[in-house]
Amino acid sequence: MIKIYTGTSKKDEIEMRKVYSSKLCELLEKHNKVVALEADLMNAITTDKIQDKYPERVINCGIMEANMISVAAGMSIAGKYPFAHTFTAFASRRCFDQLFMSGAYQKNNIKVIASDAGVTAAHNGGTHMSFEDMGIMRGLANTVVLEVTDATMFENILEQVATKDGFYWIRTIRKNASTIYEKGSTFEIGKGNLLRDGSDITLIANGIMVVEALKTAEKLKNEGINAAVIDMFTLNPIDKELIETYAQKTGKIVTCENHSIHNGLGSAVAEVIAETGNTKLRRIGIKERFGQVGTLDFLMNEYELTAEHIYGAAMELLKD
């Protein structure tokens, strides 16, 4: 059951890294088979705050991300439920062979926490900025690929998957996230959340782009345009039924993602609607570019990820 939060002030933003370490501490207390692995980023994700309490279950593997995934696989085989965290760029590009061989292929129970998603890597720059990870991961059979929206969702997803069998990719930002859902909301993996109904056009977003899509819908409302907004937090398996319903209802979709338009949310939605009928589509996301150093506000504008850019794409569709 989900409830939408209506606050909009900066004080409602919550640091996702603190959510992770706090919830992880709860899970370690509750489940003795849960372990947490780090690749020398404990301070960055704040798990250093809980290592003293669980020194044998919160383990720093050092700057050896691929090895960390192999360690996680070994722990899974031994009956543990490992979480493995590093920045998104390292978790995907540097570890892909291990993710394939030791994770998905062997059906091990690993939960990869991939932080600093997309442009939110900000001052870490282009080498640390992953625009392709969701595409890489959704190509692995039987892999659940998620991008959490806010603190409430992150807590609930961590609780759900902690001792669940399966291979999970959980993408998140590290720092402040806008609050979208009321505390206590629960989420069904594999199902999109309809945040706002509409009949003229559909905005399908995930991650930090959800709040931008909501801003766009409000701007469109002021012009008499009724936009539906869907939070598609699960990329794989994607909610085909919900996409098909709104493709038929509005006939126009704009996808919004902090990721390349290739192989991510835009591609996944395009694949669904290509099989179901005649729906027009525009994709907001990274277009054939690498990352760079900058503030988040600068990068959002530079890569055309803001509500204004979504609004422009929506108006193009509505005029067609």
Mean pLDDT by 10 residues, the chain (320 residues): 57 87 97 97 95 95 97 98 98 97 96 98 95 96 97 98 97 96 96 97 98 97 97 98 97 98 97 90 97 97 98 93
Determine contact, residues 111/65, Cβ cutoff 8 Å.
no
Could you report the per-residue pLDDT of 156-212, keeping only the tens digit for each?
999 999 999 999 999 999 999 999 999 999 999 999 999 999 999 999 999 999 999
**Residue with the two structure tokens 């054939």:** 288
The domains of the chain are located at 16-171, 193-319
CA atoms within 13 A on the CB side of 214: 21
**CATH code for the part of the protein at 16-171:** 3.40.50.970
Using alpha carbons, list the distances in angstroms from residue 167 to 41, 54, 105, 162, 229: 22, 24, 10, 11, 28
Same fold, 16-171 and 193-319: yes
pLDDT of residue 300: 98
CA atoms within 13 A on the CB side of 202: 27
pLDDT of residue 278: 81
Give catalytic status of residue 65 as yes or no. Answer: yes
Please say whether the structural domain 193-319 has been given the CATH code 3.40.50.920.
yes
pLDDT of residue 3: 63
Q: Which of 13, 15, 65, 308 is labelled catalytic?
A: 65
pLDDT of residue 320: 74
The structure's pTM equals: 0.95
pLDDT of residue 11: 55
